[in-house]
Structure 1
Amino acid sequence: MHREENMSISDYSHTIVQYDSKSYRINGNQVFLNSAAIHYFRMPREEWREVLVKAKLAGMNCVDTYFAWNVHEPDEGNWTFEGDNDCGAFLDLCAELGLWVIARPGPYICAEWDFGGFPWWLNNKEDVVFRSYNKPYLDYVDRYFDAIIPIISERQVANGGTVILVQVENEYGYLADDEKASDYMLHLRDGLIKRGIEVPLITCVGGAEGTIEGANFWSNADQHYENLRNKQPDTPKIVTEFWTGWFEHWGAMSATQKTAALYERRTLEVLRAGYSGISHYMFFGGTNFGNYGGRTVGASDIFMVTSYDYDAPLNEYGRVTEKYSVAKKLAYFVKAIEGLLLNSMEGVSIDSLTSVSKGFTVRYRELGNQRIWFVESGKDERETAYLTLANGNTIPVTVKPGAITPVLERMEIAPNVRLTCNTYLLCNEEIEGIHTLIIAADNGERSWVEIDTEQSIQLLGLRPQLMKLSADGKRLTLDNYHFEEPQVISLSIGDKHFQLVFVNGEMTNNTWRLEDHTGIRWALGYLDMDISGDGSIKVTLGRSGNGVLHLGKWDTKAVATTGISPYVHLETPEISMLTSLAVVLSPTEGGISGETPIGFSELGQPYGHILYTCDFENDEDEERTVVIPAVQDIIRVYVNGREQQLIREVGASCVLLKLQPNQTNRLQLLVQNMGRLNFSPFLGEIKGIAGTIFLDGGTVDLREHWQYENKNIHLGQVSKVEPGTAIHRTFTLKDQDRAILVGAMIDKLSINGIQIEVKGYQDGVSFLTLDISSYIRDGVNEIELCYIESPIDRLELIAYHSKNQLNGWHMQDADLLDRVEDQNGEFLGGPVWHTLQFTRPELPEDVHAKLKLRLTGMSKGIIKLNGIDLGRYWQIGPQEDYKIPMAWLQDMNKVELFDEEGRNPLRVRLLYDLQSSERWTYI
């Protein structure tokens, strides 16, 4: 296949959205893009307005969203753009609220979303090579673009919408450099242009001719900025994904390591480096409803939890967090100094301009004589640094340990009026004809502010307690404590009135900039909110003071009462149990049969559970092993109806079976699709089990007994060996002609002196499964690899003989099975369906409740609400609660749990979240 001739770069020009090396310009105005990453497909449509308005109130002027192909074409040819999937309506709502949009249509989006956004059925297509210049693949991509791009194109700024940038693919630089990626990326670029995209095109992590590249990161802002500047010196630098938190996966710790304090510091590092835009990924994460949580690389079983809370500024339920306050404060600060920030350059003459207290460091950006200083602390507690400037002024600057505080030096806030300030400036604009400065410092802190001008300063009203006015009246210096109550200082300079409003940390959180088609307004304190359909915002944000809203006690038949319990205790739920796995299933009961197991996609089943069954004759052995060479999901192993193993380490597996001697034994494997790879060079893995399974294999932990300079090295331990050093060991095989290497590997590996190509991300450790059968020999074998930075969890050799095939399998959708008693009426354990019915609770109008399900005591499975798939659960942490969208409730509701172990749901509870008594009323 040959790519079509490149389209002219001039085709990218746009009259409304322009750019230079400093910034984007929209309608001729420089704009710092503060973008909120929000995915419409991770929440009900009814929640869009609430989340978007909260983003706007936090100072976000833009929304960044992916478009998920698998959401819009869940089955081939079945397109859905209605209801929760109406992405056009989402873009229209952004426009109504005055929010610009960065559109990211993929086709690959990553996003910790199943298959990176590709539809499951695409994995069944012959000759498709994902994310490549491959005609069969691109034919499907072009068809997807035909459906999705017109929706975006119609809503570009030139067409009355607010789409200002469109992204080409996503993070392709992790797979290949720009030269190797060129044919593929330019096919996608040209495909966007041909379908009407006129706004500038961007990329992230990897570029393409005629596009603007951004960077994705959390730290090392300077390094990423330098890379972008060297690559594209004439384009604005934007953080296309600034990772506000991180995703979580089953069996890991909560991903809450990126604290609000770190978030503030990292944001200031971005501003200090000179970026002209930040996309806060995520600003609101939402939920992986419908089993859409993905799987990523790094270990064998990194499967996403159902929550995509991401520890973001807005949590999974759309509630504000501590990070929301940080994002809002920084966004307001950026808006207040936007012109200076976007036009300033990195300063270089530090020594001639300033000196600072020991234990602190400084950097600055400057525009003429105006500067923004960034004072960084190396102390272990909050201290006051003293910054002496070239003009002799010594400014006290309060900095928390390891934090950064911004300082403004002689910033021109009006013609010939300059502000020097040692803390955050939140507002710098006219409010009802008065030029207003809102100056914020944390609770208990002081601020130092100086205004100098060419004319005399006249104080109006009450004089500040601590102030100094120069003899000529042209310099006013204020030393101010920030109380709980805002303090207002009024003054005039010439015929222009100014007011300085000093707020503390608590009041900063409740300071709001409201902008709509009626103009700009500011409010301090709690407000009521009424967002009407005409785009105006009338807000009242407040707390009802009623404490936690309580739900009454429910059971399956009773309606909600007005008790005092904060949750619903399911004491007598109606239980409908799934088929006991002890029951012998006949192929006539459903499903299909074959010599070998078949995976999910091949069976036409996107998600859920598949039960694999095989009967085999056993001799006098009471124990034998079974080898599953291709394992991509968690497997429960049953023998003769009883669970014996839980296979959690995927890739390949060898497990011990306890059997009945001298009779037929039944092996059953219950597999849940835990999510397809969303970030990997190996997209398109077979979910479930596919291929031949073998009896009588063996396994060796290859982390042990490595040799280096007569030293014995264990890869599961920390060793003093330089990464990349060659190490070796031996292993012995007897009567085994097949072998699989599974675990953490790097790109240099040889067996018996033969080099083996290890594919993956360049210069990185990958979790891989390698068939090394063609390299092994009977007897002693030698393996050599480069030392990997230890410890690693797994490097295992699984060996078996090809003659020991286990054939004759039956596959059935386990989610659809009904209970069947065995001949004695005994339930031996296994999956169970639980159902609970409850009425929609009646709530006061001023209560904005959020509902969640806490699955205490359950094992692993899926949740449904009124037939809607809410996603997977697994009670190994870190997720404990599961979102129940209020928008999806009916007058009478049914919750269904498919529990793999059949555990009793008596401790399962429905709860309101802690903020359910706080009023954020949306109309």
Structure 2
Amino acid sequence: MNDHIFPAQASAKPFINFDSKGFLINGKRTFLVSAGLEYARVPRQLWYDRLLRLKRAGFNCVEIYTLWNYHEPQEGKFNFTGDHDLNAFLNMVKSLGMYAIVRVGPYYCAEWDMGGYPVWLKFKPGLRVREDNAEFEKFVDRFFDRLLPIVCGQQINKGGPVIMVQLENEHNEGWGTVTPNNYFRHLQSKALDMGLQVPYFFSGLHHSSDPAGDDILDDPKRPNPWFSTEFWSVWYSQYGAKPADSAVYSRRTWKIIAHGGGGYNYYMAHGGSNFGYTNNDEDAASYDYGTAVGQAGDLRPVYYAFKRAATFARGFQDILENSIDAASSYKNITAGHDLKITARSGAGGDLIFLDNPGTNSIKATVSVDTTIPTSNVTIAPGEIYPLVHNFSISKAIKLNWALTRIYGLVKQGSTTTILVETRKDNPTSLFFKVSAKPTLIKGKDSFKVAGSTIYLVTPPRETNKPAEYIFEVSGQRVRVLAMSSKDMDKTWLVEQPGTNIIVNGASYLGEVKEQNKQLLANAEYPLLAKKDGEIRVYAEKLSSTLSPVYHDIASSISTINLSPWQNKNAMVYAETGYNDKNWFSSANPMQMGADCNTTADAWYRTQLNIPSSGKYTMQVDGGDRATAFIDGKQAVRWKVRNGEVTFDIEKGRHTLAVFTAHDGRDKLPTYQGIITDVDKKGLSGQVLLKKGGPFISSAANWYFIKAAKAEDVKGNIPVFDTVSWKKYAIGDDVFDKHEGFGWFQTIIPVPGGNPSKLVINFRSVDEDATVFVNGKRVAGHKGWNSPFQVEINDAEILKKPIALTLFIENYSNEGGIDQPVKINSIGAAEVLTGWKMLGGPGDPDAANGWNKMALKTTFAGPQFFRSQFSVPRQKGIHLIWRVHTDGLSYGSVWVNGHNLGRYPEKIGNIGMYIPECWLKAGLNQLVIYDENGNRPDKVRVITEKEAGRITYKIQTAIH
């Protein structure tokens, strides 16, 4: 993979630049600790809260997608206001002193509906995505004309936070600086013409759950630092934390630091929610991702692991961003242990990392030189333990050796505060070199001065608060705060004008203000945890202890009472006399979205004239779920992707109404080409109706044999036997995620009913396929996830079993037959025409049509349900509320008009998060749209105690 980055334009280089060793921002070596966060998945009112939580964890950068269909959901109608106000978001990032990496697309992936493509692109003839296609590039350019002025206007050299830009995302052909075709060059030219001046790259850099691996990351051929734009921290299939997450992802982070990386971006650091209809088919409302900052803003154990790594990396960024591999110089720093030694050396000093990759603790003796006493260090399983050597604190003070884990360094005017670890199995051992006589100020008994060396050695111990040691040389002060990892978790670095402040003791420190020489701060601790104790504040030449101001907290309630439910009939669109005059019209039904509706629901209607009563089969393409109504009464439910449905119809004229819904569109990873027929939703194409049936079966009993090369397709099909040919199951990857070629074969039995033709439907073959019938080549197809069909209408062939053979060419990732191959024998049938379509469930906010829901009443199709509730308010308590949709089928939930997203969740019964900014004092309205009309009797609004917080105030003098 190419991992090069295009350099900044000359005008931007003083603000953002790089060399092979590191990034320079405003001329200063800067280690990039970046947090993946999508403003589209967070209400605007919560942007600041989520960004601040990330900043408090040591993140100095955020990475975002500018999702196309979020900003242009309807063709030509752009939205960059309110929750969509990208400019306001970037201004907020800037106000917090953070940087931004912006990924402008036009493709994103992100487990987002269609990977970010607007659905209206599906209906543009000749359009091919992610290729040098004039029709596609025309619409990309129009979007970029609105998007890029915002992004370019926020570049760091323009006074904004944007330091890098990514064009495209995870494209098959080009990563880094590779521009393999005119499509890439078009994106590049467009961005540069629009004023892009900061560094940029294509597709991404080092996407992985363990991006550093086990190798040193230096590369003399790379002109830029190593950087990961997607360090997958946990995964989108998870809600909340698992016990191993913190240790696993901590180690993977430290490997980047220890192996020479210039930074990393966690994807995701805060996941958020898929509000409305933005989820793809792999998830629902939650995009929690198991992240450091949870969907509701709660802090997970991995948050604190990330915080410790970030604090260290940024504290020693002068070394990390300008260093070379120095492992060989320190290979003998310990002996007789299964430790892996890595080291980074630069003009700013040396960092040595003791890596315990095993599953047992290791007690190591560290020996550096004859003037420094040896030190015993215990390294936990999987831990990477840093040592520091020859680090200049000021002209008069050098940290010669730290044989203790340093959490980080904080510059506080003339004071440098070093945060170090103390624990029961490791001593605190720091050795300083000074050029003048030191003055010992605090913790004098723990210092030893011998000439130009200051020793600070304390025995192994656990503390319940930081121990403070201070000395001064030539007006420059060094403060050492020795603390446990738990204390470090409660230690917060606050950037203030003129100096920095350290606050210790709060489980989380929120917004901080300085007013009349007083520090005013908001803090919190988890609802299920004990109260925080003393709060300690460390300024440049001041340290003070205070007691926080708590509110009196009564026991919190866990469930909200809902008012009696009302319902509104949402299947009126199925009634015979319903006026569909203004609906979207077409001869054949069009896919969902053809009417510019972006929801996950659509109704279709047409008229039937049935000559005789009986069982009929209807065939229609599309997806996903559907319910057919005959004259307003439910006839059958089925999955449209099955291709057909059979039900009874009486003789005569009837109104056929079909309700369809889906669970999100495919995110289309790696897909290139026409998207019109990819992942169809609703009904699509010609609709056939024929008495009898069913007429569709799946081709079963597949066998597979490998081929040597692509050219083998031109030769004879290998003779079939059950020794060399192996059983194959649809969906299996026979190429082990590598390039490969092979033959696939099955036998189609003689079809019943003497049809005039057979149609073989291929939903998806990965990736290129050549089709043979009875050994004769009949068709070829390129590209996966793109349906195609083969028709057999030779009467002689249809009289006998048919040998169906595919030759598949796989050029990347998984390969094989992705989805079942369907055999259709319907032959001649009536074509149903004159279709009408209405997208959407209807208006959940409409005031009319509501009725009190009668007991035990059941419903045969979609219904709206409505209730009200009051949220308890108590000063000092921050409760998180979720709607649990127990007993319901599929659908959407609104609170006070805000769409929480789709249910059911695919990651467990976690409930649907209600952003607290969407709740109000007094009555709140809850509206549910259930596709099957299941009663809401079991629906509850419950607090998520694990995510709840207790808030309090801190106030103290700092001057």
Q: Tell me whether the two structures share a fold, i.e. TM-score over 0.5.
A: yes
Equivalent residue, structure 2, for 1:203: 202
Q: Which residue identity is paired with 2:135?
A: P
In the alignment, what sits opposite 1:318? 297
| TM superposition shift of 1:333 | 0.8
Residue 531 (structure 2) pairs with residue 501 (structure 1): no
Give the alignment of 1:263-282 within 5 angstroms: 263-282=249-268
1:861 to 891, 901, 905: 891
- CA distance change for structure 1 residues 388 and 783 in 2, over 3 Å: closer, same or farther? farther
- The CA distance in 1 between the partners of 2:366 and 2:790, in whole Å, is 64
What's 2:716 paired with? Answer: none
> Counterpart amino acid of 2:426?
R
Find the counterpart in structure 1 of residue 379 from structure 2.
399
Distance change in 2, residues 1:565/1:529 (3 Å): closer
In structure 2, what residue type is equivalent to 1:22?
K
Choose which of 873, 883, 898 in structure 1 pairs with 2:929. Answer: 898
Residue 741 of structure 1 is matched in structure 2 by 762
Aligned match of 2:16: 17
The answer (yes or no) to whether the contact 1:204–1:216 under 8 Å persists in 2 is no
Aligned to 1:797: 822
2:494 maps to what in 1? 514
Judge conservation of contact 2:561–2:869 (CA < 8 Å) in 1. Answer: no
Q: Is the 8 A contact 1:694 1:800 kept in 2?
A: no
1:730 to 742, 746, 761: 746
Does the aligned pair in 2 maintain the 1:654–1:798 contact within 8 Å?
no
After superposition, the CA RMSD in angstroms is 4.3
* Mapping for residues 648-797 of structure 1, pairs under 5 Å: 652-660=641-649, 668-680=657-669, 681=671, 683=675, 685=678, 686-694=680-688, 696-702=694-700, 704=702, 709-710=723-724, 712-715=726-729, 724=740, 726-732=742-748, 734=751, 735=755, 736-742=757-763, 745-747=766-768, 750-752=771-773, 753=775, 754=777, 759-760=782-783, 769-773=787-791, 778=798, 779-785=801-807, 794-797=819-822
Identify which of 524, 527, 540 aligns with 2:522.
540
Q: How far apart are the structure 1 equivalents of 2:954 and 2:140?
A: 39
Count of matched residue pairs: 869
**Residues 223 and 498 (structure 1 numbering): CA distance in 2 closer, same or farther, change over 3 Å?**
closer
Q: CA 1:491–1:31 in 2, change beyond 3 Å: closer, same or farther?
A: same
Instruction: Go from structure 1 to structure 2 and tell me whether the alpha carbon gap of 1:194 and 1:589 turns closer, same or farther (over 3 Å shift).
Output: closer
Q: Find the counterpart in structure 2 of residue 815 from structure 1.
A: 841
Equivalent position to 1:603, from 586, 595, 599: 595
CA 1:378–1:281: 2 relative to 1, 3 Å: closer
- 1:33 deviation in Å? 1.3
Distance 1:612 1:323, change over 3 A: same
What percentage of aligned pairs have identical amino acids? 22
Distance 1:66 1:573, change over 3 A: same
State how far apart, in whole Å, the 2-side matches of 1:165 and 1:922 are: 37
From the superposition, tell whether residues 336 and 655 of structure 1 become closer, same or farther in structure 2 (CA, over 3 Å). Answer: same
The answer to whether residue 465 in structure 2 is matched with residue 485 in structure 1 is yes
Q: Is 2:402–2:430's contact at 8 Å kept on the other side of the alignment?
A: yes
Answer whether contact 2:311 2:408 (CA < 8 A) is retained.
yes
Give runs of aligned pairs for residues 550-589 of structure 1, distance below 5 A.
565-570=557-562, 572-579=564-571, 583-584=575-576, 586=578, 588=580
In structure 1, distance between residues paired with 2:786 and 2:25: 47
Counterpart Cα distance in 1 of 2:528 and 2:857: 50
Q: For 1:732-762, what per-residue CA distance to the aligned partner results, in whole angstroms no more than 9, with x for missing partners? A: 25334311123564546543453965644xx
Give the conservation status (yes or no) of the 8 Å contact 2:271–2:294: yes
> Post-superposition shift, 1:50?
0.9
Distance 1:512 1:699, change over 3 A: same
Corresponding letter in the other structure for 1:364: A
CA distance in 2 between counterparts of 1:820 and 1:542 reads 42
Q: Which runs of 5+ in 2 are unaligned?
A: 1-5, 532-553, 705-720
Q: How far apart, CA to CA, are the structure 1 residues paired with 2:817 and 2:356?
A: 36
**2: CA distance, partners of 1:200 / 1:819:** 56
Separation in structure 2 between the aligned mates of residue 907 and residue 59 of structure 1, nearest angstrom: 43
Moved more, 848-857 or 387-396: 387-396
Change (3 A) 1:772 1:444: farther
Q: Note the C-alpha offset of 1:710.
A: 4.9
Map 1:326-365 onto structure 2 (within 5 A).
326-347=305-326, 349=328, 353-365=332-344
> Which amino acid in 2 is paired with 1:769?
P
Change (3 A) 1:785 1:499: same
Answer with 863-872 or 398-407: which moved more. 398-407
Distance 1:216 1:473, change over 3 A: closer
Which amino acid counterpart does residue 730 of structure 1 have in structure 2? T
Alpha-carbon deviations, 1:701-722, whole Å to 9, x = none? 5365556535652426999998
- 1:507-527 deviation digits (Å, cap 9, x = unpaired): 111101101334311111127
SS at match of 1:102: strand
Post-superposition CA distance 1:73-116 (Å, at most 9, x none): 33233333222222211111122221122222223333222233
Segment drifting more, 859-868 vs 112-121: 112-121
The residue number in structure 2 matching 1:309 is 288
Residue 414 of structure 2 is aligned to residue 433 of structure 1: yes
- 2:950 is matched with 918
Aligned-pair distance for 1:444? Answer: 5.4
SS of structure 1 residue aligned to 2:934: coil
Q: Which amino acid is 1:126 matched to?
A: P
1:282: how far off?
A: 1.7
Q: What is the identity, as a one-letter code, of the residue corresponding to 2:55?
A: K
Whether the aligned pair in 2 keeps the contact of 1:469 and 1:477 (CA below 8 Å) is no
8 A contact 2:687–2:832 mirrored in 1: yes
Rate the CA distance shift 1:726–1:8 in 2: closer, same or farther, 3 A: closer
The letter for the 2-side match of 1:540 is N
2:568–2:850 CA contact under 8 A, matched in 1: no
Distance 2:7 2:494 in 1: 42
Q: Does 1:628 align with 2:620?
A: yes
Change beyond 3 A, Cα 1:192–1:721: closer
2:223 maps to what in 1?
234
2:539 aligns to what? none
Q: Give matches, 1:210-289, under 5 Å.
A: 214-222=205-213, 229=219, 233-248=222-237, 259-289=245-275
1:31 is displaced (CA, Å) by 0.9
Q: Which residue of 1 aligns with 2:185?
A: 186
> Partners of 1:775 and 1:216 in 2: how far apart?
49
1:6-25 deviation digits (Å, cap 9, x = unpaired): x9996675332222112221
* TM-score w.r.t. length of structure 2: 0.80
Contact 2:574 2:657 in 1 (8 A): no
Shift of 1:199: 2.1
Quote the offset at 1:32 in angstroms. Answer: 0.9
Give the drift of 1:907. Answer: 1.9
Asked if residue 374 in structure 1 is aligned to residue 331 in structure 2, the reply is no
Q: CA deviation at 1:454?
A: 5.8
793-802 or 334-343, which moves further after superposition?
793-802
The 2-side partners of 1:53 and 1:668 are apart by 51
Give the aligned partner of residue 66 of structure 1: 65
Amino acid at match of 2:760: A
Distance 1:360 1:805 in 2: 75
Aligned CA distance change for structure 1 residues 704 and 137 (closer, same or farther; 3 Å): closer
Cα gap change, 1:420 to 1:73, in 2 (>3 Å): same
2:887 maps to a residue whose letter is: G
CA distance in 1, matches of 2:58, 2:177: 35
Distance 1:858 1:515 in 2: 49
SS in 2 for 1:192: helix
- Distance in 1 separating the partners of 2:54 and 2:8: 34
Alpha carbons of structure 1 residues 653 and 12: separation in structure 2 relative to 1, 3 Å: farther
Cα drift, residue 531 of structure 1:
4.7
Letter matched to residue 380 of structure 1? T
CA distance in 1, matches of 2:288, 2:201: 26
Q: CA deviation at 1:175?
A: 7.1
Q: Deviations over 1:295-354 (max 9, x none)?
A: xxxxxxx43312222222111122222221122111101122111111221235278544
